[in-house]
Structure 1
Amino acid sequence: MLSRLFLLLIMFTLVACSSTNDEPEYVERSVEEIYNQAFDSLKERNFRRAALEFDEVERQHPYSIWARRAMLMSAYSYYQQNKYSDAVLTARRFLALHPGNKNAPYAYYLIAQSYYEQISDVSRDQKNTELAVQALRDVIRRYPETDYARDATLKLDLTYDHLAGKEMEVGRFYMKNQFYIAASKRFRNVLLKYQTTSHVEEALHRLTEIYLTLGIESEARSTAAVLGYNYPDSEWYKDSYRMLVDRDFSPEVEETSWFRKFWQSIF
């Protein structure tokens, strides 16, 4: 009796496995038939089925010209499913096998897009953001005169702004807990690495506040002066100015300040 139940259990398990298996049953078909079915699935926005069928082209006809096309279409289908790791893996495999292919620019762009779509909130780890920066730079460096590069440039600016936002969040946390040296390093990182982002004004203000707290008058005055020179109408500058006036100081870039040396190194 127990043996019969065991056999029935195995049979049910096998049926369950076969019904949930994503891979299509192997049926030998012409490359045109498989590719056309995959493309039809893509047009119907059945991206899961499209990816499986495009992969099947490569499995059954690995040396045909259709296999090259199918590999890239498979990467796109994975991307549309939000399966970004699979999209990156497939696109990288395409580039490894066909580095000089005319569609290589799109493969690099798809990799960058896949990382870009995985950028997380500034409160979380920014590993994918760093990978997005590298991939976007790669597109711009390799294909500077293309639409891919132009779009990558826009996204790179947004990605830098995101990374600057992460630095600001960590800096504020350190500042709130009175770890002023650690906080100042984060705010200075924003100025050194992300000078074109929207976070520069606040970073300058926070540094002014920290230097005043630490009693470093020259740096506080210089930082506020730079903030006022570049963003005279900024609310952050008004706050910094008030803090200085309350202590009988005025914004002024002093010869020996870190900020004077920093600004001269840029301009």
Structure 2
Amino acid sequence: MRVSPAFRFISRTTLLALLVVVAGCSLFHRGKKGDPMDTQTVEQLYQQGIEAIESGNNDYAIRTFQRLTSRFPFGPYTEQSQLDLAYAQYKSDKADEAYSTINRFIKTYPTNKHVDYAFYLRGLINFDRSGGFLEQYVGEDMTQRDQSNLRQSFDDFGALLSRYPQSRYAEDGRQRMVFLRNTMAQSQLNIALFYLKREAYVAAANRAKSIIETFPQSEQAGSALAVMAQSYKMLGQDKLADDAERVLKLNYPNHPFFEGRWPHYRSNWWKLIPLTNRGTSRQGS
């Protein structure tokens, strides 16, 4: 019997489609069989994720918590998994993902009993985004220094202290805020000295004035006043120079400015004690 070309075309097309379906089903069942996460209970998945974190296998912990939240979108395990997921991402140096996860947690679960830790972890994420900034500072154009992450971290810890002043993480957050304040003030002071050395006195005075206004309690405030006094003197603004020097004398009588040993145009980074080497524990459930 003669078969028409049209029938042969339909038969081949149908056969190809069947082969694709069969192959897809085979791969699907093979994948299901090979991935126990699809059959584990929520308790088993959560415990597996915690064990992965404790063993340092943060990438596997991330995958486990993501699978848990996709399979079980509601419940206490899901809430805690979001927090642990952010921690695992943070420890894996996935700052953007961790920040997104922790923000989502804060917005979704504002009454969670561990939300204070969420604010603390958000501050840590931004605190460490500038990892290596002390080492990178050498040779960098000071006027181009981006401090947005430091400022955001400062604000994150500030939110923790204002909302949860009795939190177990409040004291560490407060110390980090002091460090961040001094770090940002020192960076601005270095810029002011940069301008002063190059005889850009107006820019130096303005930068120093901004330190006094923004970081009045920083340890760099005295040197900022000294920059103002020196800059105004070089600009011939004797009254402004005298005012700055008088305030400096009143608050920092032993400043090197009065001993003829200033300015020295050197950075004081060594005075800053970084807290990034402290152990950061995971918030328990």
User: TM class, shorter-chain normalised?
Assistant: 0.7 to 0.9
Task: Tell me if structure 2 keeps the 8 A contact 1:209–1:240.
Answer: no
| Distance in structure 2 (CA, Å) of the matches to 1:50 and 1:28 | 17
Is 1:71 aligned to residue 92 of structure 2? no
Deviation at 1:156, TM superposition (A): 1.0
Deviates more, 1:78-87 or 1:120-129: 120-129
Q: 2:126 aligns with which of 90, 115, 128?
A: 115
State the number of aligned residues: 218
Q: 1:127 aligns with which of 144, 148, 167?
A: 148
Deviation at 1:44, TM superposition (A): 0.7
Q: Any idea what SS the aligned residue of 2:69 has?
A: helix
Partner of 2:49: 38
Deviation at 1:239, TM superposition (A): 2.7
Partner of 2:106: 95
Q: 1:224 aligns with which of 245, 256, 274?
A: 245
Unaligned runs of 5+ in 1: 1-23, 242-267
| Distance in structure 2 (CA, Å) of the matches to 1:146 and 1:185 | 39
| Higher Cα Rg, which structure | 2
Task: Tell me if structure 2 keeps the 8 A contact 1:164–1:190.
Answer: yes
Q: 1:105 aligns with which of 116, 136, 139?
A: 116
The TM-score, its normalising length taken from structure 1, stands at: 0.76
Q: 1:190 aligns with which of 195, 198, 211?
A: 211
Q: Residues 68-123 of structure 1: CA distance to partner in whole angstroms, max 9, x if unpaired?
A: 11111111111112222221111111122211111111111110111111233464
Is 1:61 aligned to residue 72 of structure 2? yes
| Distance in structure 1 (CA, Å) of the matches to 2:249 and 2:102 | 48
| Distance in structure 1 (CA, Å) of the matches to 2:121 and 2:201 | 41
Q: Any idea what SS the aligned residue of 2:124 has?
A: helix
Partner of 2:220: 199
Task: Tell me if structure 2 keeps the 8 A contact 1:116–1:132.
Answer: yes
Q: Which amino acid aligns with 1:219?
A: L
Q: Residues 223-258 of structure 1: CA distance to partner in whole angstroms, max 9, x if unpaired?
A: 2222122122222332389xxxxxxxxxxxxxxxxx
Q: Any idea what SS the aligned residue of 1:117 has?
A: helix
Deviation at 1:213, TM superposition (A): 0.5
Deviates more, 1:213-222 or 1:104-113: 213-222
Q: 1:236 aligns with which of 240, 257, 266?
A: 257
Is 1:163 aligned to residue 173 of structure 2? no
Task: Tell me if structure 2 keeps the 8 A contact 1:116–1:129.
Answer: yes
Q: 2:91 aligns with which of 73, 77, 80?
A: 80
Unaligned runs of 5+ in 2: 1-33, 263-285
4+ residue runs over 4 A deviation: none
| Distance in structure 2 (CA, Å) of the matches to 1:204 and 1:101 | 46
| Distance in structure 2 (CA, Å) of the matches to 1:171 and 1:61 | 55
C-alpha root-mean-square deviation of aligned residues, in Å? 2.0
Task: Tell me if structure 2 keeps the 8 A contact 1:28–1:60.
Answer: no
| Distance in structure 2 (CA, Å) of the matches to 1:45 and 1:61 | 24
| Distance in structure 1 (CA, Å) of the matches to 2:109 and 2:63 | 21
Q: Residues 131-171 of structure 1: CA distance to partner in whole angstroms, max 9, x if unpaired?
A: 11221111111111222222211111111111111211221
| Distance in structure 2 (CA, Å) of the matches to 1:143 and 1:209 | 43
Deviates more, 1:147-156 or 1:186-195: 147-156
Is 1:48 aligned to residue 59 of structure 2? yes
| Distance in structure 1 (CA, Å) of the matches to 2:213 and 2:244 | 14
